[in-house]
Chains A and B, each alone.
Chain A
Amino acid sequence: MKIKFIKFIIFFIIFFVLSIFFVSLNKDPLYSTKDLEGEKIQDISLNHFSKNEIISNQDLKKNKFTLINFWASWCAPCRLEHPYLVKLNKEDNLKILGVNFKDKKQNAIKFLNDFGNPYDYLAKDTTGKQSVNFGIYGIPESILINKDLIIVKKFIGPLTYNDYIKIRGAVKNE
C-alpha cells in the first residue's frame, strides 16, 4: 500500500512537471510591465519643458484622466503614434502629459512644430532618471492614469489605432 502510494506520487510529480512544460510552450516569452496596472503612481515630480517649474501630483489630481506619454525626437516609432495623440487631445476628460525623454531641446521643439503639439503639459527628463519612477524601459510608452493617480492602462511601444479606441472608451465611461 505504502509503496503503491509512493509510486503514485512519483508519477504524479513527473506528470505535473511535464505538463507545466507543455503549457509553458505557448506562453509569450517577452516580458512587459502590464501587470502593474492598478498600482498607484507616487511622487510625481517632473521638470517643466521650458519653464522653471515642477509638475507634481497636485497638477494631475485635477484631471479626470491623464495620459502620460514618453517620447523623443530621435525615436522613430514616436512619429507613428503621434497622430493618435493629436486626436486624443480633443477628448474632454483627458489631459495629456508629454515627457520629453533624453532629448535635445531644439530637436524636440522642431518635432512638435512639424507634427503638432498634443500635450497639455510638457515635461522633460534629460537624464532619464524620472522615467524609472514611472516604470519605463523603452520609449515610446504611455500610461493612462485616473484622478487618484492609479494606472488604468499601460501601453508599451507606439499607440495603435486599437489603443486609441481603448483610451477613448476608458475615458468616456466616466
Chain B
Amino acid sequence: MLSSIGNFLLLLSTILSLIVIYTSFKNLNEKGNLISKNLFTICSLQCTFIIVSFFTLVFAFIISDFSLVTVYQNSHTAKPIFYKISGTWGNHEGSLMLWLIILTIFSFLFLVSSKNKKKEFRIYTLIIQNLLIICFLVFLLFNSNPFGIVTPVPKEGLGLNPILQDPALAIHPPLLYLGFVGSSIYFSAAIASLLTNYSGKLFVNAIKKWVLLSWSFQTIGILAGSIWAYYELGWGGFWFWDPVENASLFPWFSMTALLHSLIVLEKRDKLYFWVIILCIITFTSSVAGTFLVRSGVLNSVHTFANDPSRGIYILSFLSIMIFGSAILLLKKIKSNNFVFNTNSKETFILVNNWFMIFYLITIFLGTVYPIFTEVLSDHKISVGPPFYNTVIIPVVVFFLIFMSIGPQARWIKNRFDNFKQIVSILICSLLINFCIFYFFKSYSVLSNLIIISSSFLIISSFNDAIKSIKKNNFNISRIISHSAFGFLILFIGLNHNFSIEEEFNLKIGQIQKFENYNIRFTNLNLEDHENYKAIIGEFKVNNLDKNFVQILKPEIRIYEKPSTLTYEASIRSNILEDYYVTMSNIDRSDYYNIKFQKKPFMIWIWISVILISLGGFLRLFRHENKIY
C-alpha cells in the first residue's frame, strides 16, 4: 500500500519535472519580465508530492511496514521511535530520498526568493535544477527504490546497525545534505548565468545567501559526524581522514574558497569566471564524494551496502555534469583582465583560494590515489593520516599567517602601516607558545609552529575586532569565524600534544598505574535493555596529583537485531579535558582490554567549529536585513 503511494508520487513528480521544463521553455519565449503563475503552481505541487512521498517513507518506518525492502533491511519493531525515524535516512535509499526532498524544496525556495532577478536567469536555473531532480528521481525509481517491496512480508526487520543509533548521527545527514544540496542551487545558477550573461554583482546577490547557508550547514554537519565518531566508534579520535570524511570536506573547501572570492566579485566586479568554476567544482565534488562513498570503490568505516550498478549510475550522471559544464564554460570564457596590486585585499583573498584549492586537491588526490594505483598497476596501497598530516599541516602554518594579515588589508592598494603591530602580535604568540612549552610539556617543531601561528591568528582577529569597533564598521561574522578557526587549530594542536593514551589488560579487582594515574577495575555488571544486553565495567580513575577520583563505566553492548557487539566509551567531560575509557573483551580469556585516554580541550574543539558556522549564519541574517 505505502509502496504504491510512494512509487506513484515519485513517478508523478518526475512527470511534473518534465512539465516544469516544458513550461519554462515556453515561458522563456513569452514577453514580459514575469514568470507565469502556472510555473509556481506546478513547482509547489511537485514540492508537495515529494514531501508527501518522503513522509510516506518515514511513516513506513514508524509503523514498521516490513513489506518495504528498505524498512525490512534497516528497521526493527524493538527500536526506539526516535531511531525508527532517523533510520529513514540511515541507509542508501532513504538518504537519497532526503537528498531529493531538500533539492526540491531548495529549488522551490530559489524560485520564490529570487523575485527581483532577471527572468531568463531564474528560468534557466529552474530548468537545470529540474534536470538534477529528474536525475535523482530516475535513480531512485530504477536503481535505488526506497519503496521496493518484499514478498512474502517478513514478520520482523533486520534492524539498524546499532552504531548508527545515535542522536548525533541522526542529525548528521540532514545537516550535511543541506550543505551538499544547497550547492546545487549555485551550480544551476552558475550555468544559468553563463547562458544568460547574468553576471557581476547581480549574480553575487542571487547566490550569496545560498553559499552562506550551505557553507554553514556543511560545517555543522561535518561537526555532527565528528562528534558521532568520537562518542560512538570508541577509539577517542574525531577525525580519521577516512574516505567518507574526506568526501564531506571536498565541497567544504571549495565553498570556503567561493565564499571569499564572491566578496571580490561583489566589491570589485572581478574573478567572475573563477567564481563560476568554484560553483561548478563545489557541486560536482559533492556528487563525486557521493559516488566514492556509495559505489564501494573505497574501503571505509562507513559501510553502505555496496553495489556497482549504483556507481555506474552516479558516475554517468557526474560525467555528463562535468563535461556539460566544462564545455559550456570553455565556450564562454574570456580572458578578462584580472589585474591586482600585489599588496591588496584582492590578492589576500586569492591567497585564501590558493590554499583552499591546495587542500582540496591534496585530499582528493589522497582519497582517490589508491583507486589509481589499483587500476593502473594492480597495486593496492592505503593513504591515511600520516600522508595528510605531513602534507597539510606545514602548509596550515602559512595559511594561518596569511589569514591573520589578510582581513586588515585594503582594497586595491594596501600599505603595511601596521607593521609594528604585526611584530608585537607575533612576539605575543611566541611568548604564549613558549609558556605552554616551558611550563607543561615539550613537543615537536611543527607543533610549535602550529601553536604560534594559531595564537597569531587569534590575537590578530581580536585586534581586528577592537579596531573595527572603533571605526564602527563591525563585521562580526568574519571576526567570529576567523578567530574560531584559530581556536580550532590551537585546540587541536594542544589536544594532540597533551593527550594521554594508555592501553592495558585487566581482570576485575586489578589496578593499573601509570604516570600520575591509578585505575582500578572495581566491578562488572550485566544489564538487560529494550533492544540490547550490556556488560558494564566500573573503573575508578584516581588522579594522584590532585587526589581526584572519578568513576567511569564503559560498556560492551550485545545487540540481537542485527547481532553485533558494540563498545560504548564512557566519557567524562569537563571544561579542561575529557576522560575517555573503553573496554573490550578478549577472546578465550577473562581479561578485559582497557583503553584509557585523557583528551584536553575536547569541548573547545566542538565549540570552535560551532562558532565557525555561527559566523556564517550571522552573516546570512545581516545579509538578508540589508536586502529587504
Are the CB atoms of B299 and A35 closer together than 8 Å?
A: no
Interface size range of chain B in the complex: 20 to 34
A22→B299 CA distance, assembly (Å): 17
Instruction: Let me know if A10 is at the binding interface, CB within 8 A.
Output: yes
Task: Add 20 more A-B contacts to A14-B322, A27-B297 (CB < 8 A).
Answer: A7-B330, A10-B326, A10-B330, A17-B368, A18-B318, A20-B371, A20-B372, A21-B311, A21-B315, A21-B368, A22-B315, A24-B297, A24-B371, A25-B297, A25-B308, A27-B374, A27-B375, A29-B299, A35-B378, A35-B379
Residues from chain B with Cβ under 8 Å of A35 in the complex: 378-380
Are the CB atoms of B308 and A26 closer together than 8 Å?
A: yes
Are the CB atoms of A25 and B311 closer together than 8 Å?
A: yes
Residues from chain A with Cβ under 8 Å of B318 in the complex: 18
A74→B379 CA distance, assembly (Å): 34
Instruction: Let me know if B412 is at the binding interface, CB within 8 A.
Output: no
A157→B379 CA distance, assembly (Å): 21
Are the CB atoms of A23 and B326 closer together than 8 Å?
A: no
Residues from chain B with Cβ under 8 Å of A5 in the complex: none
Are the CB atoms of A24 and B375 closer together than 8 Å?
A: yes
Are the CB atoms of B379 and A18 closer together than 8 Å?
A: no
Cβ contacts A to B, 8 pairs, < 8 Å? A7-B330, A14-B322, A20-B376, A21-B291, A23-B375, A25-B308, A25-B311, A27-B297
A74→B588 CA distance, assembly (Å): 11
Q: Render B287-321 as a binary contact track against A, CB cut-off 8 A, 1 for contact.
A: 00001000111010000001010011001001100
A10→B331 CA distance, assembly (Å): 13
Interface size range of chain A in the complex: 10 to 19
Residues from chain B with Cβ under 8 Å of A27 in the complex: 297, 374-375
Residues from chain A with Cβ under 8 Å of B330 in the complex: 7, 10
Are the CB atoms of A14 and B326 closer together than 8 Å?
A: yes
Are the CB atoms of A14 and B323 closer together than 8 Å?
A: yes
Q: Quick one: closest A residue to B364, CB to CB?
A: A17
Q: Tell me the chain A residues, 120-142 only, with Cβ under 8 Å from chain B.
A: none
Are the CB atoms of A25 and B323 closer together than 8 Å?
A: no
Are the CB atoms of B297 and A29 closer together than 8 Å?
A: yes
Q: Tell me the chain B residues, 355-375 only, with Cβ under 8 Å from chain A.
A: 368, 371-372, 374-375
Residues from chain B with Cβ under 8 Å of A31 in the complex: 299, 380
A44→B379 CA distance, assembly (Å): 27
In angstroms, how far is the closest chain A Cβ from the Cβ of B572?
34
Q: Quick one: closest A residue to B323, CB to CB?
A: A14
In angstroms, how far is the closest chain B Cβ from the Cβ of A23?
5
Q: Quick one: closest B residue to A26, CB to CB?
A: B308
In angstroms, how far is the closest chain B Cβ from the Cβ of A88?
29
In angstroms, how far is the closest chain A Cβ from the Cβ of B481?
32
A112→B157 CA distance, assembly (Å): 42
Q: Quick one: closest B residue to A14, CB to CB?
A: B322
Q: Which residue among A7, A21, A27 has the maximum number of chain B CB atoms within 10 Å of its CB?
A: A21
A33→B308 CA distance, assembly (Å): 23
In angstroms, how far is the closest chain B Cβ from the Cβ of A21?
6
A24→B372 CA distance, assembly (Å): 8
A141→B593 CA distance, assembly (Å): 27
A23→B311 CA distance, assembly (Å): 11
Are the CB atoms of B295 and A25 closer together than 8 Å?
A: yes
Are the CB atoms of A18 and B322 closer together than 8 Å?
A: yes
Residues from chain B with Cβ under 8 Å of A7 in the complex: 330
In angstroms, how far is the closest chain A Cβ from the Cβ of B407?
33
A25→B319 CA distance, assembly (Å): 15
In angstroms, how far is the closest chain A Cβ from the Cβ of B300?
10
A22→B375 CA distance, assembly (Å): 10
Are the CB atoms of B312 and A25 closer together than 8 Å?
A: yes
Are the CB atoms of A24 and B374 closer together than 8 Å?
A: yes
A20→B364 CA distance, assembly (Å): 14
Residues from chain B with Cβ under 8 Å of A21 in the complex: 291, 297, 311, 315, 368, 371
Q: Tell me the chain A residues, 1-46 only, with Cβ under 8 Å from chain B.
A: 7, 10-11, 14, 17-18, 20-27, 29, 31, 35
Q: Quick one: closest A residue to B316, CB to CB?
A: A22
In angstroms, how far is the closest chain A Cβ from the Cβ of B357?
15
Residues from chain A with Cβ under 8 Å of B323 in the complex: 14
Are the CB atoms of B319 and A18 closer together than 8 Å?
A: yes
Are the CB atoms of B315 and A25 closer together than 8 Å?
A: yes
Are the CB atoms of B297 and A11 closer together than 8 Å?
A: no
A41→B312 CA distance, assembly (Å): 41
Residues from chain A with Cβ under 8 Å of B311 in the complex: 21, 25
Q: Tell me the chain B residues, 371-418 only, with Cβ under 8 Å from chain A.
A: 371-372, 374-376, 378-380
Q: Quick one: closest B residue to A11, CB to CB?
A: B326
Residues from chain A with Cβ under 8 Å of B372 in the complex: 20
A56→B322 CA distance, assembly (Å): 59
A163→B379 CA distance, assembly (Å): 24
Q: Which residue among A10, A25, A29, A102 has the maximum number of chain B CB atoms within 10 Å of its CB?
A: A25
A24→B374 CA distance, assembly (Å): 8
A20→B295 CA distance, assembly (Å): 14
Residues from chain B with Cβ under 8 Å of A20 in the complex: 371-372, 375-376
Q: Render B15-47 as a binary contact track against A, CB cut-off 8 A, 1 for contact.
A: 000000000000000000000000000000000
In angstroms, how far is the closest chain A Cβ from the Cβ of B585?
15
Q: Tell me the chain A residues, 67-93 only, with Cβ under 8 Å from chain B.
A: 74
In angstroms, how far is the closest chain A Cβ from the Cβ of B438?
42
Q: Which 9 A-B pairs have the closest CB atoms?
A: A25-B311, A24-B371, A25-B308, A24-B297, A23-B375, A18-B319, A20-B375, A24-B375, A7-B330
In angstroms, how far is the closest chain B Cβ from the Cβ of A75?
12
In angstroms, how far is the closest chain A Cβ from the Cβ of B308?
5
Q: Render A102-122 as a binary contact track against B, CB cut-off 8 A, 1 for contact.
A: 100000000000000000000
Given contacts A23-B375, A24-B374, A29-B306, contact A18 B297 (CB under 8 A): no
Q: Quick one: closest A residue to B331, CB to CB?
A: A7
Residues from chain B with Cβ under 8 Å of A25 in the complex: 295, 297, 308, 311-312, 315
Q: Quick one: closest B residue to A16, CB to CB?
A: B372
A11→B327 CA distance, assembly (Å): 9
A20→B315 CA distance, assembly (Å): 11
In angstroms, how far is the closest chain B Cβ from the Cβ of A26?
7
Residues from chain B with Cβ under 8 Å of A10 in the complex: 326, 330
A27→B330 CA distance, assembly (Å): 34
A20→B292 CA distance, assembly (Å): 12
Residues from chain B with Cβ under 8 Å of A24 in the complex: 297, 371, 374-375
Residues from chain A with Cβ under 8 Å of B299 in the complex: 29, 31
In angstroms, how far is the closest chain A Cβ from the Cβ of B380?
6
